Amino acid sequence: MNLSRSRALVGVAAFAVVLGFANAFAIGAEIDNPLEYLRSVYNLHMAVQTENRQSGNLYLAALTNTGQLNDYLRALARECQKYPIGFFTRAGVSEIVVCGALDMGGAPISGIFNSDQRRLYMKYHWCQQGARCRVTFHAFHHELGHAVQTAALGNGHYEWREWTALNPSYFNYGSGGDAELMANPERNWATWSTNQPGFLNAYGTTAPWEDRSEIMAALMNDADRVRLPRYYQHDPIIQKKIALMSELLSKIAGPSQQKYFWEEAVNFLKRQPELSLNSTQSAFSKTVDLQKAIGRDLIDSGGNAVSFETLKGKKYFLLYYSASWCFHCKQFMPQFLEYYRNSRNLDKFEVIFVSSDRSEAEMMSCMREVPWKAVRFGSAAESFLKTNYGRGPAIPELVLIDSDGRFLSIRKGFAKNYEYGVEKMLDILNKKLAEAN
């Protein structure tokens, strides 16, 4: 979002450490003095918004609570290490201003880039590297994407025909991120659940420059990239957009003897094994230690930690991917609850809830209605289950695995195949339970 056409940004997904992203994309050691590091190495100056200010339809709130600001700056400095020295100068960014809050026409946003001032405004979210950083760093890379487009294309709103030609012939972008955001601030713009080919979320459909920035954020932000393989492998438009954005980043960075972070990220996506949508094929031929993978992050409906020992003896697990905002999930919930509560085989299987909500509070509001277990919001276990067993953005989704973590079947309960998908999955589970008796 720049000041000439504001836009919101938000974050999705779970942190990627459990799958080895931290090792695959190592970016350096702990930074003791992030302010000095950013200034001396990247020529980036940091500032704090000290007073409330209204500029047109943009509101910048003063940051008054700076007690944990150094944690945020350390994490941000490590994020900057994904870019080569001199990159920010060439991209036209010289200062980052941390604000207590940002608001665009009544809608809260997480960042905005002002190309005239060469300044990137960021809403402060406390985080440490690898914790609570999803929204912060999605916003950071998205806004930097606008700077990159301005620097590389000469205009942040440049109609890049090579990009727009990738979209389906029937598709037309919206009226722009700022206009659509302010017209409908309650919409789930950033949730990765769109069924539109070539797009990660609804916000990317509002304008080509927003689309490009969303692609860049997904590629550069660890918490987004953990979910990206599912889209990359099954959507050739996404593949081509990622390739174009990588080329644009390299254009700003200049030639190098070594591969840049984004180039390594693209290579990583290319190397990922194909994820089959055929429910009869197994995603895992080998066993998985579920206790080790998810046991530390299990909770009950009240948010209390649950020992994996309470699940010992269960032969099957039904992973339930859902969210409080999902209309079809709400339709499905009463049927699913009735099935669960009336089952005579609760000693042999358990439901594990995997949330696609935007916040822990939203997830827990959904959990209060159910008797089953869940993985903690934003946890390594959530990341593990979404990446290894989930099959794309649409929910509700049911995935059947056995106690050794072997993938058995998958059904989606949405749109026209809603009843068939749900009923078929429960039939499969019932047959497995009957075999186990």
Q: Could you state, in order of their start, the residue ranges of all structural domains in the chain?
A: 17-271, 290-436
Any idea which architecture 290-436 has in CATH?
Answer: 3-Layer(aba) Sandwich (3.40)
Residue carrying the six token digits 């999705």 = 12
The residue-averaged pLDDT of 217-229 equals 87
CA contacts within 13 A on the Cβ side of 359: 5
Of the chain, the percentage scoring pLDDT greater than 70 comes to 83
Extended beta strands in 231-390, E state:
298-299, 316-322, 349-355, 373-375
Three-state DSSP string of 184-208: CCCCCCCCCCCCCCCCCCHHHHCCH
Please name which of 23, 40, 151, 47 lies closest in space to residue 85, comparing C-alpha atoms: 40
Angle, in degrees to the nearest 10, between helices 327-342 and 418-436: 30
- The answer to whether 15 and 384 are in contact (CB under 8 A) is no
pLDDT digits (tens, 9 = 90+) for 142-184: 999 999 999 999 888 888 999 999 998 888 898 887 788 878 8
Main-chain dihedrals φ then ψ at residue 409, nearest 5 degrees? -165, 160
Q: Are 270 and 344 in contact (CB under 8 A)?
A: no
* pLDDT exceeds cutoff 60 at 261: yes
Tell me 109's DSSP state.
E
SS3 341: helix
pLDDT of residue 122: 94
Give the CATH number of domain 17-271.
3.40.390
* CB neighbour class for 256 (10 Å; exposed up to 12, middle 13-18, buried from 19): exposed
Tell me the per-residue pLDDT of 66-111, one tens digit each, with 9 for 90 and over. 878 888 898 899 899 999 999 999 999 999 999 999 998 888 889 9
Write down the pLDDT at residue 411. 74
Beta bridge partners of 45: 95
Q: How far is CA 378 from the centre of its chain?
A: 10
Mean pLDDT over the full length of the chain = 81
Q: What's residue 157's pLDDT?
A: 85
Q: Residue 50: how many CB atoms within 10 A of its CB? A: 12
Banded pLDDT at 273 (limits 50, 70, 90): low
In Å, how far from its chain's centre is CA 1? Answer: 18
pLDDT at 390 over 80: no
Measured CA to CA, the distance from residue 228 to residue 386 in angstroms comes to 11
Placement of tokens 């727009």 in the chain: 164
Structure-derived torsion over alpha carbons of residues 360, 362, 366, 367, reported in degrees to the nearest 10: 20
DSSP code at position 314: -
Residue 376 has pLDDT above 80, yes or no: yes
Residue with tokens 């990359």: 232
CA atoms within 13 A on the CB side of 403: 14
Among 159-163, 324-328, 376-380, name the one with the lowest average pLDDT: 324-328
Instruction: Please say whether the beta carbons of 11 and 139 come within 8 A.
Output: yes
CA distance 90 to 162: 23
In this prediction, residue 418 carries a pLDDT of 45
Six-digit token pair at 202? 């609804």
CA gap 345, 201 in Å, rounded: 39
Separation CA 380–CA 292 (nearest Å) = 11
Matching residue, tokens 């992203």: 21
> What's the whole-model pTM score?
0.61
Residue 14 banded pLDDT, cuts 50, 70, 90: very low
